[in-house]
Structure 1
Amino acid sequence: MVNTASSSYLVDLDTLLVRMRESDDPAQLATWVIEFISTTFAPTLIWLATYDDYHHQMIGQGGICLMADYAPLRSPVPLDPGSLIEQVVIEQQLITIPDLPQETRMGRWQQESKQLGVQGCLLVPICFKRRTFGLVLMGTQAWGAFIDDNEKALLGMLLGQYAASLYHIEQTWQQQATKQAAAPLLNLGNAIRQGNTLDERLRIALDHIRHLYLKARPSLRSMPSPTSKAFFSFCSAANPKEPRVMPS
């Protein structure tokens, strides 16, 4: 447990929030969140995941644990109906799990809790504008709740800014995609005006449309949805970071 009233923690958080507001890199944001939680709360397990609403699954963005190469830290994890993780995503409410090894609604996390060295567990939603962007799972070797209300508030400020930053990155991405989609139409209009007759204009239009289709076909296949794994993991793929493993 940390002293959240300590000026050093508040100064560190304030500095980090400023950096997060200025960042447009989802992978870097995830790294900062994990590092701050690790330094401030020192849990045995951290799992940061974003929510892919299209496929109703969580996308691991990294974390720390006792197990080397633990797949869920950076892999898609389907949401089981009725699970506590699904409940947090839907209801946007924090859930404390005093004894993870006995909680059957936690799926593989419950099944592998001994290997992970986790007993007490906390699920914290990541929300902005009434939308769930993901959650953080924190685990400790101690039984029961391991952070108090002040620490929850500290965590809420951090994750609230993380969600806000993801939202603004997504909005910027969508605006850029819209501009890129509109540019060919403007070029088409300019090209058509170069025709002197109706037949010439029709031919120019058909040639232009055919060219656009052939050019766009491969990019359409690879264009990520803002809520997909590709959007949230794009920067991670460009600059991959291995999950951190805590010393046993």
Structure 2
Amino acid sequence: MVAYSAKPNEPIQTLKYTQGIGTVTEKSEANEIFMYPTFRTQGMTMPTFTIGYANNGSEAVNFTTDNVKAFFRGQPVPIYTYTERIAEIQSEKRSQQIALAIVGGLAAGAAAYGASRQTYRSNYSGFVSGRGGVTTFAGTSTVRVYDPLAGIVAGAAVGGATGLGIRQLEYNAQNQEMAANSILQANTVDPLHMVTGDLVLKGCCDPYSRPDDAIRFEVTANGRTAVFEFARVKVSQ
């Protein structure tokens, strides 16, 4: 897990904390922009930040993810659009469900086959007394039983568990899609109005610590660019 520590550009920017999360704000006559890490701690990949934009100008302004550029260690990083993230969630769900269905089908077939064909072995031994003395004997008897009903029950049990797993993947995807609704989408911001949304970085970032572990955002609106920077800090376990 990592945390992101804000590095405000003072005195242009101010830094205030809420429940341990630092929010960086930059104000001008044209607009007010603020940013903060969406979560106090995050995983190494897909870092998420919340951005807010207030239009202080006299004309409406279109504000989308196109207004924002992201960089990690100085290299550009793409930002998810809402449609990209939804398409990715759906694709991952389908791939996982297909894989589970294939594995579950093989497991159900194996369970059905094994349950319907049982082999029972028993050992026997003894002795017989006769005129010639005592004769001992020993051996093993094997009985194979075919029970199709047992196979059906076993296969259905595994198949039912597979069905539950597939439905769980559907629920997980629905939850991810609900979370994706917070991604910044296209908005027309009228004068003296504000919009907020999440910025989710795509294909970022590797887990190795370096001195320049920082994410920089360049936000362009109303003809000017504001720069926000956050340093990545590992959280001790």
Q: Same fold (TM over 0.5)?
A: no
Q: Comparing both structures, which one devotes a greater share of its residues to strand?
A: 2
Which structure has the larger Rg over C-alpha atoms?
A: 2
Question: Which protein has greater RCO, CA pairs closer than 8 Å, 6+ apart?
Answer: 2
